[in-house]
Structure 1
Amino acid sequence: MTHNFFKNSPFQTLISFHKLIETLEEIVEKKLDHKVNYASALIKEIEPFPEFRTGIKNFSLIKKNEKLIKSLLGDLFPTALTNNEIKAITIPFQNFTFNYSERFNKILQDAGGKFDMSIRNFDENQFYIMSCSLILNSYYNQKIEFSKPLFYDIPDANGILKHYRILYNADFIDILPTEKSISLTTEDIELLMDNYDDIDLWKEKFPKESWILKGFAIVVLFDATIESAISKLKSNLLKSETEYSDINKNLETIFRSIFKVADLKVGLIVYNEEDDKFTRPLFNQNEIGSFILFGNELEECNDTIFGSTVETLLKKKKTFAISNINKFSRIPGNEKLGTHLLQQDIKSCILAPVLKNNKLLGIIELVSSTPNELNSVNANNLDLLLPYVVDTLDRYNIELQNQIEAVIQREYTSIHSSVYWKFREEAKKYNQTYNPNKDYIFKEIVFKEVYPLYGQIDIKGSSEHRNETVKEDLKNQLAALINIFENLKENSTLPLLDQRKFEMQSYFDDLDLDLKADTEQQIQNYIQKEINPIITKSTIDNENKALIDKYFADLDDKTQLFYHSRRKFDDAMSIVNKKMTSILDKEQKEAQKIFPHYYERFKTDGVEHNLYIGASISPLQTFDAMYLNNLRLWQLQTLCKMELEHHQIKSVLPYKLEVTSLILVFSSALTIRFRMDEKRFDVDGTYNARYEVVKKRIDKANIKGTEERITQKEKITIVYSHSNEEAEYLKYIKFLQFKKILDPKIEKFDVEELQGVSGLKALRVKVINVGKKALSKKITYQELLNELN
């Protein structure tokens, strides 16, 4: 065994037996008992070694005089107890020991000659402060309690890590000041007590080697393997995945210590009651494996792999131990599980249900490659460990449900962070006043005096594109079938073939007309009921077989129709929408810095967004109209960026799509109310409903007196009602024209009357395709004003 000293210490350390020698001299002088002759002989034997009294600095002297020192310490190390006690001489908190009891010596021999016995989780700073604490207790009569337990972790002959609690006896130590020591005041001691972690302060008050530690301490160990392992297990299981990544290795070390099985491995599977399946835990998937699943993500609980174990584990909910899997696998009904385990070199195992209130949470797996190492007897050790595993799996289930709820909240019923505080406030009131015998009426969530901003980037002619791709796919499918029937006719005398071919040709020709709502369904039903049975039952040659095989290979798995053109269109739509939403969401994070505001977006045949800004949404901040102006400029810039991004990607889309952009300006403040039935915000009040009507219909509107849509590709249309709104947006446009983002030409026109809404006007301006670099830096409203002024 090696000894590693902490080099920095407040002590000059002198190993001394002066207190023992003084006791021996007292026995001789006063002839106290029958040990007089023994004490006298021992004193005479140590006379050539004055260092035993004055203090040993050269520790090699200890090694040379082991037998003599052993005799000197005989009363403290009784021979009758040497094989029972784990005991040695030491210097407190230093990794230095000698004069071991036989049991201690055996433990060190089993650990190996190169083993370094150091205190667990004990560093140089802790050593220094603990040593200073000894001085405070001994010299300054303080009562500092060292309540934190100290441990040695020592492997046995089989490599199983054992944990030993350390106890010190310092009765044979004197602590003496030197000329370098600093006399401490009450204020100094109080300052130290309040600053345990300030190592510089401790070194200032107790300079290096400014005190003398003279004597020795006795260290006594007791085997606390089980208690320590349980404590470590609890700590490890409480840590999150980000805090602790190597959990399985440490779990195995802990379980090996308790079960005393050197090759023990640990697995875990979670029981999903809803699906009646076993699955791997979602936490630490790379660390905690499963020997039952063996690489699979999940397994049916009634799968035949479990055989008779299902009854024990799932129904009786009892631990299932197999001490010899070779014998187990030869019993009828156990073959599959036995073979499954033997393939992994598992010769004995314990499968234990993890239960909470008699509800199965999962199964913990302990396995060994040695027969009989794991059995129904030592399976009882799990009683010590399972409560902590239960708590962990229960916590995991709760966290999993919370994560699922969070995903649902985020993806389906999102509550934006800007208004979350008000929902939280109402939820707190509910919790504080909850009474199971009384219904709680939730207060409506309302935000008054907020200003709306609405914008969209829409796929131009998406309905027409979709219809054309449906027609193209149906035509291609019918053409393929007509070709197959032409070939079948040559090798068949069935008159029905001509009839079916004629019907398919009629469907083909009808597709040149406008697509009806049920056309696709009619053709799908016709092919499945009338055409496919003929193809599959006819006698065909190799050439026809190749045509038919290709036809079925081209079918979509779900609809059993051709889906080639529609897939290109759908993929292109998906790419455009994802790209647009990613830009909008990213820019939104910056927009929130202008002033907190409510934000929501919707994916349709394009991307729409609603913004609401006002004092009621962020009552702790002072609202000013400047923030609304800033947000309007941000919205215009963001739509420009989205237009430019589409221009960059449209050449590589699987289906060519154009987009149009629109902003609706509405300067009147309105009220929004959270609709509990729809789980979304909506404008409140009859007058405010006008805004919603315009939003729903404006993108399909024409320029007044024409058949031309107000929206066009590569252009942004800004719809407004009042001249002051026009003047505001003309300033924004002028500035973005100066930045080479918008085209110099501005179109102005009236919008046709919508149902119940008239007097709308619009500006329309083209986005310059070379302006992408100009948008790399966002422009604030204040910068705009500075430029204009």
Structure 2
Amino acid sequence: MDYHLFKESPFKTLISFHKLIETLDEIAATNVDYRSNYAKALLKEIEPFPEFRTGIEDFNLIHNNETLIKYLLADLFPTALTHNEIKAVTIPFQNFTFNYTERFKKILHNAGTTFDMAIRDFDGNQFYILNCILILNTFYNQHFDFNKPLFYDIPDTNGIMKHYRILYNADFMEIIPTDKATTLTPEDIDLLMDNYDNIDLWKDKFPSESWILKGFGIVSLFDASIESAVSNLKSNLLKSEKNHTDGNQNFETIFRSIFKISDLKVGFIIYNEEDEKFVKPPYDDKKIGSFILHDMQEADCKNLLFGCSLENLLEQNKPFVISNVAKFASTPGNEKLGKHFLGLNIHSCILAPVIKNGKLLGIIELVSAKPRELNSINANNLNLILPYLVDTLERYNNDMQHHIEAIIQREYTAIHPSVYWKFRREALKYFQTNNPNKDYIFKEIVFKEVYPLYGQIDIKGSSEHRNETVKEDLKNQLEALILIFENQNSNSSLVLLEQRKFELQSFYEQLEFPLKADTEQQIQLYIEKEIHPILRNTKTTEIGETLEQNYFESLDEKTGMFYHSRKKFDNAMSIVNKKLASILDKKQVEAQNIFPHYYERFKTDGVEHNLYIGASITPNKDFDSIYLHNLRLWQLQTLCEMELEHHQLKSSLPYELDVTSLILVFSSPISIRFRMDEKRFDVDGTYNARYEVVKKRIDKANIKGTKERITEKEKITIVYSHNTEQTEYLNYIKFLQFKNILEPAVEEFEVEELQGVSGLRAIRVKVINKNKEPDSKNYSYQDLLDELN
């Protein structure tokens, strides 16, 4: 066995029996014959070994004289108790022990030859400091209380980890300072008292081997497996999910220690009261499964338990115990559940409800591959741990609700973190009212004097693409049906088939013209009502049968129509939107560092975003116009990166799509108000309506005096009203041209008059995309100023 001695210690250790020998000297001088004679005989036996008095440094002397040492320690290790006590001689806090009791020997033997006994969670620093505290308490008469429980974790013959609490007896030890020992002042002791974790300070006040530890200690162990396992369980349950790195293994080890069953496995299911279903816990990193659900993610609780009567579990809220699954399965009514468990090699099990205030939270499953291992007697051990499981599961349910609310807020509402504080303040006022149950008039959430930034990257010609794919799918479907009718059995009603074939060809000819609003629905309804019944109820040739089979296999399950071209388009649209939105969201996290601002984005036929920045959104920070300029430069850079990402992505799309990009510049501050009915922010008041009108119509606008759209593929269009905005953005463009992000050519033109809005102008510039990876570096407004200067 390794001694596992720590390299550094304030002690020079001398194992000595001098105190015990001095007691023998006193007994030898008494008049009690049997005691005196025994002591004299023992003293004579140890006489050749003066090291027993002066101190043993060579531990081989101990191993070579085990029997003599056993006689010397006989009064401290009574033979009558050797099979009961777990005791040995030791050096405190170190892994050097000898003179074991028989029970201790048996425990170590069962652990195996590869087992190395070491104190749990105990390192060299702790060892050093504990020895220093021993000196303070013994030599300096201090009373520092260090009651951290120390444990040995020792496996038994079945591989079950047993936990033994360590107790030390230091009555036979003596602490002696050497010349290297530092004399401590009261101030030194106070300093040590306030710096437990400062190992360098402790080593400075107690240099290595500056004290002598002479004598021996006695270590006594008691089996605290259940108490320790419960404590470990509490610690594990208190850990956050991300700190669980070893899956379900920790829990199974703990439960095996409590139940003393080597093959015990643990499962768990959660009860969803709202849906009346049992579901697996979503602990991906713990991988806690369920033996009841097995490969199902969830199941209706009424049908879950395989028709087996489990009133104790679901109605009486008591554990359901099956000590012998094979015997249980032979009872009528239990076959389904019994066979299910036997198929998983489960031969005994306990299913225990986890209940809080009469409410079922879930079921814990304990199973074993051996019959009778789990039974109604050891099921009582669950009483030790269920209270902690109840609290943990209740906490989990609360956390899950909070996560669900957070997801809803993130995905379905417009309450961005930048403005959350104002909603929270209003909600807090509601709770602070004397009677929050009464009708409370919530104040409107308004942010005044904020600067808007709007941008979009849109799928070019998405409506035309969608119509073309619809027409292509309809044509292909009609062609397939016409071919089937041409191969129908001649014994069928020729008049009806010819009529239907004529109607199909008429629909096909309609598709040569622009698609009308109801054309798709009209054709779909005709095929479902008139064509499909004929195909299913008429006989056909072998070729026709193959054509019909191929046709029906080509139909989409949901619509009953061909969905090939449209699927490619929809998939391409989804890929583009997802990619562009993810870039925008990722860059937005960085943009919040410029100055906290409101952000929202929408996926339509592309990705739109709204930003609002101003002092009212972040009142605890001083707002300056430089933050607005920084955010505008960030927005332009981000659209450049999104354009470039799309260019890299385009060739791999199932349906080729182009995009156009647009920025709307609006320098006048506006107010935004949270619309309670729509659960989103919108501009407030008629004064700010001009901004919304422009935003909704601008992407469809043409260059003044032409039929050309202001947006063009692979180019960014910046729409503005004032000369100062023009100068600002031309500087941004010049800077990004210098950084090799934008091409040199810049177009400037007027925008056609929109409804009630005139005087808009625009700048258009192309993003460099030839053999270029996206530049994810964010340049700041200061970078631009430095470059211009």
Q: Which residue of 1 aligns with 2:669?
A: 669
AA aligned to 2:251 is: L
Query: Is the aligned partner of 1:578 residue 2:582?
Result: no
SS at match of 1:517: coil
Cα distance in structure 1, aligned partners of 2:643 and 2:785 = 25
SS at match of 2:244: coil
The 3 A distance-change label for structure 1 pair 202 and 681 is: same
Give the C-alpha shift of residue 507 in structure 1: 2.4
The 3 A distance-change label for structure 1 pair 533 and 153 is: same
Give the C-alpha shift of residue 366 in structure 1: 1.7
Q: Which residue of 2 aligns with 1:642?
A: 642
Q: Which residue of 1 aligns with 2:195?
A: 195
Cα distance in structure 1, aligned partners of 2:774 and 2:116 = 65
Give the C-alpha shift of residue 563 in structure 1: 1.3
| 1:313-371 alpha-carbon deviations (Å, 9 max, x no partner) | 32333212222222222222322322322233322222222222232222222222222
The 3 A distance-change label for structure 1 pair 474 and 90 is: same
Give the C-alpha shift of residue 702 in structure 1: 2.8
8 Å CA contact 2:310, 2:320 repeated in 1 = no
Cα distance in structure 2, aligned partners of 1:116 and 1:18 = 30
Give the C-alpha shift of residue 386 in structure 1: 1.6
Q: Which residue of 1 aligns with 2:184?
A: 184
| Range with bigger deviation, 377-386 or 489-498 | 489-498
The 3 A distance-change label for structure 1 pair 655 and 105 is: closer
Give the C-alpha shift of residue 762 in structure 1: 2.8
The 3 A distance-change label for structure 1 pair 776 and 27 is: closer
AA aligned to 1:506 is: S
Q: Which residue of 1 aligns with 2:290?
A: 290
| Range with bigger deviation, 275-284 or 259-268 | 275-284
**Structural mapping, 1:80-95, within 5 Å:** 80-95=80-95
SS at match of 1:506: helix
SS at match of 1:495: helix
Q: Which residue of 2 aligns with 1:504?
A: 504
| Range with bigger deviation, 520-529 or 549-558 | 520-529
8 Å CA contact 1:477, 1:562 repeated in 2 = yes
SS at match of 2:471: helix
| 1:600-645 alpha-carbon deviations (Å, 9 max, x no partner) | 2111112211121222223333322233223223323333333333
SS at match of 1:345: coil
SS at match of 1:626: helix
**Structural mapping, 1:51-450, within 5 Å:** 51-284=51-284, 287-303=287-303, 306-433=306-433, 435-450=435-450
SS at match of 2:281: coil
The 3 A distance-change label for structure 1 pair 363 and 660 is: same
Give the C-alpha shift of residue 734 in structure 1: 4.1
8 Å CA contact 2:430, 2:436 repeated in 1 = no
Give the C-alpha shift of residue 662 in structure 1: 2.0
Give the C-alpha shift of residue 135 in structure 1: 0.7
AA aligned to 1:398 is: N
AA aligned to 2:211 is: W
8 Å CA contact 1:434, 1:440 repeated in 2 = no
Cα distance in structure 2, aligned partners of 1:80 and 1:202 = 44
| 1:641-681 alpha-carbon deviations (Å, 9 max, x no partner) | 33333344334433333322222221111111222322222
Give the C-alpha shift of residue 431 in structure 1: 4.5
AA aligned to 2:400 is: L
8 Å CA contact 1:10, 1:207 repeated in 2 = yes
AA aligned to 1:552 is: F
Cα distance in structure 2, aligned partners of 1:655 and 1:787 = 41
The 3 A distance-change label for structure 1 pair 505 and 85 is: same
TM-score by length of 2: 0.93
Give the C-alpha shift of residue 225 in structure 1: 1.4
Q: Which residue of 2 aligns with 1:603?
A: 603
Q: Which residue of 1 aligns with 2:559?
A: 559
8 Å CA contact 2:458, 2:660 repeated in 1 = yes
AA aligned to 1:721 is: S
8 Å CA contact 1:301, 1:310 repeated in 2 = no
AA aligned to 2:223 is: D
| 1:197-229 alpha-carbon deviations (Å, 9 max, x no partner) | 222222222122211112222222222111111
Give the C-alpha shift of residue 745 in structure 1: 4.7
AA aligned to 2:529 is: K
The 3 A distance-change label for structure 1 pair 105 and 433 is: farther
Give the root-mean-square deviation of aligned CA atoms.
Answer: 2.7
The 3 A distance-change label for structure 1 pair 200 and 746 is: closer
| 1:706-736 alpha-carbon deviations (Å, 9 max, x no partner) | 4333333333332222233233333334444
SS at match of 2:616: coil
AA aligned to 2:366 is: L
The 3 A distance-change label for structure 1 pair 258 and 636 is: closer
The 3 A distance-change label for structure 1 pair 12 and 788 is: closer
Give the C-alpha shift of residue 543 in structure 1: 0.8
Q: Which residue of 2 aligns with 1:631?
A: 631
8 Å CA contact 2:414, 2:681 repeated in 1 = no
SS at match of 2:116: coil
Cα distance in structure 2, aligned partners of 1:133 and 1:770 = 71
| Range with bigger deviation, 553-562 or 329-338 | 329-338
Cα distance in structure 1, aligned partners of 2:370 and 2:591 = 64
| Range with bigger deviation, 425-434 or 173-182 | 425-434
8 Å CA contact 1:83, 1:103 repeated in 2 = yes
Q: Which residue of 2 aligns with 1:569?
A: 569
| 1:289-325 alpha-carbon deviations (Å, 9 max, x no partner) | 3333334433443447633254343233321222222
8 Å CA contact 1:591, 1:634 repeated in 2 = yes
Q: Which residue of 1 aligns with 2:537?
A: 537
The 3 A distance-change label for structure 1 pair 309 and 262 is: farther
The 3 A distance-change label for structure 1 pair 208 and 765 is: closer
8 Å CA contact 1:160, 1:257 repeated in 2 = yes
8 Å CA contact 2:245, 2:285 repeated in 1 = no
Cα distance in structure 1, aligned partners of 2:115 and 2:775 = 65
8 Å CA contact 2:242, 2:285 repeated in 1 = no
8 Å CA contact 1:355, 1:361 repeated in 2 = yes
Cα distance in structure 1, aligned partners of 2:94 and 2:560 = 78
SS at match of 1:95: coil
Cα distance in structure 2, aligned partners of 1:170 and 1:324 = 51
AA aligned to 1:57 is: E
The 3 A distance-change label for structure 1 pair 497 and 202 is: same
SS at match of 1:181: coil
Give the C-alpha shift of residue 81 in structure 1: 3.1
AA aligned to 2:204 is: E
| Range with bigger deviation, 336-345 or 187-196 | 336-345
8 Å CA contact 1:27, 1:33 repeated in 2 = no
Following TM superposition, where does structure 1 have runs of at least 4 consecutive aligned residues deviating by more than 6 angstroms? none
The 3 A distance-change label for structure 1 pair 600 and 66 is: same
| 1:362-387 alpha-carbon deviations (Å, 9 max, x no partner) | 22222222221111111111111222
Q: Between the two proteins, what is the percent identity of the paired residues?
A: 72
Cα distance in structure 1, aligned partners of 2:312 and 2:191 = 62
The 3 A distance-change label for structure 1 pair 129 and 746 is: closer
SS at match of 1:448: strand
Give the C-alpha shift of residue 772 in structure 1: 4.4
SS at match of 1:370: coil
8 Å CA contact 1:280, 1:297 repeated in 2 = yes
**Structural mapping, 1:475-490, within 5 Å:** 475-488=475-488, 490=490
The 3 A distance-change label for structure 1 pair 617 and 371 is: same
Cα distance in structure 2, aligned partners of 1:373 and 1:12 = 51
8 Å CA contact 1:302, 1:310 repeated in 2 = no
AA aligned to 1:225 is: S
| Range with bigger deviation, 40-49 or 674-683 | 40-49
Cα distance in structure 1, aligned partners of 2:353 and 2:537 = 53
TM-score by length of 1: 0.93
Structure 1 unaligned residues grouped into runs of 5+: none
The 3 A distance-change label for structure 1 pair 781 and 56 is: closer
| 1:565-593 alpha-carbon deviations (Å, 9 max, x no partner) | 21122122222222322332333333333
SS at match of 1:52: helix
SS at match of 1:577: helix
